[in-house]
């Protein structure tokens, strides 16, 4: 199997070859399952994930949002357009190359990922103070409110924990975020098929880092 064939299997199928599985496809399936979406299509179905003890996982729990954001990070680390001249990787790379989301929102989405992954919280203070204007946020999550993808406060939060008021928070509409990521998945699959998207990394590294054996 050459790299082109491998990439198409990587983004479209869970099983790539023998007992080797795609981390991309597993992450996508898990994100859909956790957030109540159709596992095959990503369409919102409001499914509730339950366990044997009759407990359930809230579709808009942090873990579901985190899974979608980690998927976005995989895309930005693995793929780029053939004609790309940008060195951006990770979440902002994925958003820049495969969506119409503007730069300010790209920083906010990356900051949400950092808040969730680094401290499982909705507060992000970047270690690099040069990024404070774009990346310092207190987030509020909204699943069904009719709001833009990201709604910013009139006055940005200044990093003072004594001033953590509602009117300083940045609101993320999670269903719209999931829809945007699902659209990026479609764009990546189409680009891999038509050859307009390439892998940033060589096949041995792709197999080692982004696939697993079961």
The runs of H, that is alpha helices, within the chain are 3-12, 23-34, 62-78, 90-98, 103-119, 132-135, 174-194, 203-210
Angle between helical axes of 62-78 and 90-98 (0-180°, round to 10): 70
List pLDDT tens digits, range 7-42.
999 999 999 998 999 999 999 999 999 999 999 999
Residue 72, classified by CB atoms within 10 Å of its CB into exposed (0-12), middle (13-18) or buried (19+), is buried
pLDDT band at 149 (very low <50, low <70, confident <90, very high): very high
Question: What's the whole-model pTM score?
Answer: 0.92
Average pLDDT value for residue range 44-73: 82
Identify the pLDDT of residue 146. 84
**CA 2 – CA 8 distance, rounded (Å):** 10
**Does residue 130 sit in helix, strand or coil?**
helix
Identify the pLDDT of residue 51. 65
pLDDT band at 61 (very low <50, low <70, confident <90, very high): confident
Average pLDDT value for residue range 152-170: 83
List pLDDT tens digits, range 166-192.
688 999 999 999 999 999 999 999 999
**Does residue 23 sit in helix, strand or coil?**
helix
Identify the pLDDT of residue 165. 63
List pLDDT tens digits, range 83-130.
876 678 899 999 999 999 999 999 999 999 999 999 999 999 988 777
Identify the pLDDT of residue 182. 98
């Amino acid at each position: 199997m050459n790299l082109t064939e491998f990439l198409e299997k990587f983004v479209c199928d869970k099983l790539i070859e023998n007992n080797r599985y795609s981390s991309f496809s597993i992450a996508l399936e898990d994100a859909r399952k956790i957030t109540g979406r159709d596992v095959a299509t990503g369409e919102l179905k409001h499914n509730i994930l339950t366990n044997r003890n009759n407990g359930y996982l809230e579709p808009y729990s942090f873990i579901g949002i985190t899974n979608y954001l980690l998927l976005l990070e995989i895309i930005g680390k693995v793929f780029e357009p053939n004609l790309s001249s940008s060195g951006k990787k990770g979440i902002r790379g994925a958003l820049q190359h495969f969506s119409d989301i503007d730069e300010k929102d790209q920083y906010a989405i990356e900051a949400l990922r950092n808040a969730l992954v680094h401290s499982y919280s909705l507060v992000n203070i970047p270690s690099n103070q040069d990024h404070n204007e774009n990346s310092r946020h207190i987030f509020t999550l909204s699943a069904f409110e009719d709001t833009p993808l990201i709604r910013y406060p009139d006055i940005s939060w200044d990093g003072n924990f004594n001033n953590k008021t509602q009117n300083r928070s940045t609101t993320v509409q999670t269903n719209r975020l999931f829809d945007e990521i699902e659209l990026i998945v479609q764009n990546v699959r189409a680009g891999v098929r038509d050859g307009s998207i390439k892998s940033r990394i060589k096949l041995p590294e792709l197999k080692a880092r982004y696939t697993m054996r079961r």
